[in-house]
Amino acid sequence: MLTIGKASFTSRLLLGTGKFSDLDIQSQAVEAAETEILTFAVRRLNLEERDKQHFLDMLDLSRYTLLPNTAGATTAVEAIRIAKLAKASGLCDMIKVEVIGDSKTLLPDPFETLKASDKLLEEGFIVLPYISDDVILAKRLQELGVHAVMPGASPIGTGHGLLNPFSLGLIIEQAEVPVIVDAGIRSPGDAAMAMQLGADAVLLNTAVSGAKDPVKMAEAMKLAVRAGRYGFEAGMIPVKRYASASSPTEGMVQA
Amino acid sequence: MKLTINGQSMTFSNRITHVNQLLHELDVKVKTVVVELNRHILSREDHDEAVLKDGDCLEIVHFVGGG
């Protein structure tokens, strides 16, 4: 079970809802992923497109936990405002704190992320900050009392997979709260690798929504996350320098 | 009455006095919207009682796809 704050989840795959080509495919992909946590962004209502159908309205909200993000924020002040707007919907009390420090890499600003997380914890939010793979920042955030840390595997939407498994491993090792590897995942192999390292969950979006067959990819990611977790739980053999036979060396058939 | 909604200047009849009436007038189909009135975030329950006056500035937001 994945426990974040007071809530527990069977699925360890969190899915973003951005960039799907159509709502039907999106529904099928969400279904195939068997995810229980969906991320959303907060945006102005487009007054010219008031009739447009939105994914949230199609959802059975009793089946999902909503994890709105503060995407678009570049300062703690902006992130806090977005978080409060999200919470005022009455649909959720979790927030993915996402404060971008640079428009080219979309890497998160560690200082503003820390500030925003601190304030939002004070306000009673369940706080899940999106961070770089920085071990000390992850520690500092935990000391503040965040409910999970979400280090990126590689920059958002790049599909570079796990650029620094070493740092992710260190974050996981020292973590006292769930570690959710977020961003940069491309393949089911990436997702499995993150879980194998001991991550508690994986959050991805583009890897599914941008796939040629998003529904099949959602299914693949579900299985990969499960496989990686099972591998981690089962405990892998140590790596050795030289071969060791799998078959007995005694009782060989003689010539 | 003139209101600025999501950065856009719009004119409404003086019959519209409260936020819930405005949402009705705008014919907002999205089930869950959050309204910020002059930088003050309203809860859903506030919509019925929040009074609008000429020159007010509103943000109407909702959840869209995102990661």
For residue B23, give the CATH number of its domain: 3.10.20.30
Q: Do B67 and A18 touch (CB under 8 A)?
A: yes
Q: Are A174 and A139 in contact (CB under 8 A)?
A: yes
DSSP B34: E
Contact between chains at B32 and A91 (C-beta distance less than 8 A): yes
Phi/psi-derived region of residue A34, left when phi > 0, alpha when psi is between -120 and 50, beta in every other case = left
- Give the residue-averaged pLDDT of A108-136: 98
Return the percentage of chain A with pLDDT > 90, whole number. Answer: 96
Inter-chain CB proximity A183 and B67 less than 8 Å: yes
CB nearest to A40's CB, from B36, B43, B65:
B65
Give the pLDDT confidence score for residue A50 in this predicted structure. 79
CA distances from A64 to A16, A116, A217, B9 (A): 12, 25, 20, 37
- Identify the CA nearest to A223 among candidates A247, A169, A252, A187: A187
* Residue B46 included in any domain: yes
CA–CA separation, A76 and A30 (whole Å):
31
Asked if the structure places residue B38 within a domain, the reply is yes
- pLDDT value of position A51: 80
Q: CB distance B41–A84 less than 8 Å?
A: yes
pLDDT over 70 for what percent of chain A? 100
pLDDT computed for residue A255 by the predictor: 81
CB B66 within 8 A of CB A18: yes
Q: Choosing among A57, A80, A89, A154, which should be mutated to test the B contact, i.e. which has the most B CBs within 10 A? A: A89
- Segment A171-177 shows an average pLDDT of 97
**pLDDT grade, residue A249 (50/70/90)?**
confident
What is the pTM for the complete model shown? 0.94
Residue B7 lies in a domain: yes
Domain that holds residue B45: 2-62
A255 inside 8 A of chain B by CB: no
Measured distance CA(A14)–CA(A12) in Å, rounded: 7
- Look up tokens 């995102």; give the residue: B66
Structural domains of chain B, count: 1
- In a mutational test of the B interface, the residue from A14, A20, A23, A45 whose CB has the highest number of chain B CBs within 10 Å is A45
Alpha-carbon distance of A150 to B65, in angstroms, equals: 19
Task: Tell whether A6 lies on the interface with B, counting CB pairs under 8 A.
Answer: no
pLDDT for the residue B40:
97
Classify residue B47: in a domain, yes or no: yes
Query: Could you give the CA distance from residue A128 to residue A121 in angstroms, rounded to a whole number?
Result: 10
B67 is a domain residue? no
A162 contact partners, CB below 8 Å, separation of at least 6? A153, A154, A168, A181, A184, A190, A193, A194, A197
Mean model confidence pLDDT for chain A? 97
Q: Given a cut of 90, is residue A120 above it in pLDDT?
A: yes
What SS3 state is found at A4?
strand
- Domain assignment present for B54: yes
Q: Is residue B13 part of a domain?
A: yes
pLDDT at A93: 95
Interface of B with A (CB under 8 A): 5-8, 26-34, 36, 41-44, 59-67
Do residue A56 and residue B63 have CB atoms under 8 angstroms apart? yes
**ipTM of the complex, rounded to two decimals:** 0.95
- Answer yes or no: is B32 within a domain: yes
Task: State pLDDT tens for residues A56-98.
Answer: 999 999 999 999 999 999 999 999 999 999 999 999 999 999 9
